[in-house]
Amino acid sequence: VTKNIISSLTIKSGRESNLFSFMAEEKTHPALSTLSSYYFGLKGKRIRPTLVILLAKAIEGKSQIQDRYITLAEVVEMIHTASLVHDDVIDEASTRRDVLSINHSFNNKLAILCGDYLLSRSCILLSSLRNHEVTESMSNSISELVEGEFIQARSKGQASFDNYLRKSYLKTASLLTNSCRSTALLSSCDSTVVDIATEFGKNIGLAFQIIDDLLDYTSSDEVAGKPTSVDLQLGLATAPVLYATQEYPQLENLITRKFSEPGDVEEAKNLVLKSKGIEKTRNLAIKYCNLAIENLLQLPQSESRDLLISISQTVVLRNK
Ligand code: 2DE
Ligand code: MG
Ligand code: MG
Ligand code: MG
Ligand code: MG
């Protein structure tokens, strides 16, 4: 579905998006731009830029899309990619988007610099929009991304649902919240529509991360194109294990010691898979997905709005 939507988008766009050429500034060291563009053009889902473009169309009520929305979509994809390049260093992940990760193919030092370069290029592009509110919103999302990852690093060994949701908002939903908010800010819509777009971004973002955490248990490396079954090893208590703890209190112990003793990860994983944790996690994601769809239903009916509803549904049905 998403693939078809993206190809239909490029046809009607004002300008063709080309992240590679934007990364390859004439004065930049060619290897820095090449390496930093490594994940572009690979099999990413591109959900974030797709949401920006469709939301812009739904709000503007036009099928022709103005350049500023394409720029915002690029900014969002660049920030997201920068965060993944750094995430793979932190998580010591060796694959991403079906290929070897930058940190694994090269090394951590280069990966950190590539993430920094992507982030700085995204700031240059963001400033070209000449919109202070959008700059503020997107800058807030970058700072929240970092805070989410920081909270996660510090909250290992904690089994709290409130902490999990707050961290999920910060590390994933904030970027979607502010991307959708910025999309609305770039139009001349009134503030109720800005609020609807913001809420939609938050709800779809939470659904998205909750399913990411579910897929860590239920998907495979081959299908996901990145390592799965790693969250427990990383010491992370995500929704599936938090729910499973309600049925199997012994998990509390494993969480507290961050799944650090031999056999802990296997024991925890078996209990999670035996429990209702997976089903409950899916239901939690569906709850946020339904809220996101309710937000969309407050926008006037259009082809783009209905595509946004379909994409929201695929967020919880996806297997990668
Ligand atoms: C994805 O979580 C994490 C996203 C946020 C990462 C943020 C960092 C702060 P996962 P997967 C690293 C730095 C931010 C910048 C440079 C903007 O569950 O399963 O680890 O895809 O994702 O590995
Ligand atoms: Mg990761
Ligand atoms: Mg991570
Ligand atoms: Mg994950
Ligand atoms: Mg992901």
Separation CA 101–CA 82 (nearest Å):
12
What is the Å distance from ligand 3's center to 228 Cα?
11
**Once rounded to an integer, what is the mean pLDDT over residues 102-122?**
96
| Ligand 1 atom 16, closest CA | 83
Determine the pLDDT at residue 311.
95
The residue to which tokens 């919240």 are assigned: 177
The residue to which tokens 């503020």 are assigned: 136
Given pLDDT bands bounded at 50, 70 and 90, which one contains residue 194? very high
For ligand 1, residues with CB inside 6 Å are 79, 82-83, 86-87, 90-91, 93, 115, 119, 142, 145-146, 149, 171-172, 212, 226
Determine the pLDDT at residue 42.
81
Q: What percent of the chain has pLDDT over 90?
A: 83
Could you tell me which of 227, 241, 251 has the C-alpha nearest to residue 280?
241
Q: pLDDT, tens digit, for every residue of 115-131?
A: 999 999 999 999 999 99
What is the Å distance from ligand 3's center to 234 Cα?
9
Max CA pair span of the chain: 59
Q: pLDDT, tens digit, for every residue of 287-315?
A: 999 999 999 999 999 999 999 999 999 99
Token pair of 220, please? 């495979």
Determine the pLDDT at residue 9.
47
Task: Output DSSP code: residue 13.
Answer: B
Q: pLDDT, tens digit, for every residue of 215-273?
A: 999 999 999 999 999 999 999 999 999 999 999 999 999 999 999 999 999 999 999 99
What is the Å distance from ligand 4's center to 319 Cα?
13
Separation CA 308–CA 320 (nearest Å):
19
Task: Output DSSP code: residue 235.
Answer: T
Is the pLDDT confidence value at 12 over 70? no
Determine the pLDDT at residue 288.
98
Please report which ligand is nearest the Cα atom of 172: 1
What is the Å distance from ligand 1's center to 88 Cα?
7
**Once rounded to an integer, what is the mean pLDDT over residues 23-51?**
86
For 85-88, the CB contacts below 8 A with 24+ separation are 85/36, 85/39, 85/111, 85/112, 85/114, 85/115, 85/118, 86/111, 86/112, 86/115, 86/149, 87/149
Given pLDDT bands bounded at 50, 70 and 90, which one contains residue 40? confident
The residue to which tokens 């290992």 are assigned: 156
**Once rounded to an integer, what is the mean pLDDT over residues 175-183?**
98
- Atom number of ligand 1 nearest to Cα 116: 16
Q: Taking a C-beta distance cutoff of 8 angstroms, is the pair 215, 224 a contact?
A: yes
Q: pLDDT, tens digit, for every residue of 195-205?
A: 999 999 999 99
Separation CA 247–CA 218 (nearest Å):
19
Q: Taking a C-beta distance cutoff of 8 angstroms, is the pair 24, 33 a contact?
A: yes
Determine the pLDDT at residue 20.
82
The residue to which tokens 């929704």 are assigned: 239
| Ligand 1 atom 4, closest CA | 171
Q: Which of 45, 75, 79, 145 to mutate to test the pocket of ligand 1 (most atoms within 8 A of CB)?
A: 145
Q: 3-state DSSP call for residue 99?
A: strand
Is the pLDDT confidence value at 13 over 60? no
What is the Å distance from ligand 5's center to 160 Cα?
22
Q: 3-state DSSP call for residue 65?
A: strand
Distances from the Cα of 91 to the Cα of 88, 151, 152, angstroms: 5, 14, 11
Determine the pLDDT at residue 8.
44
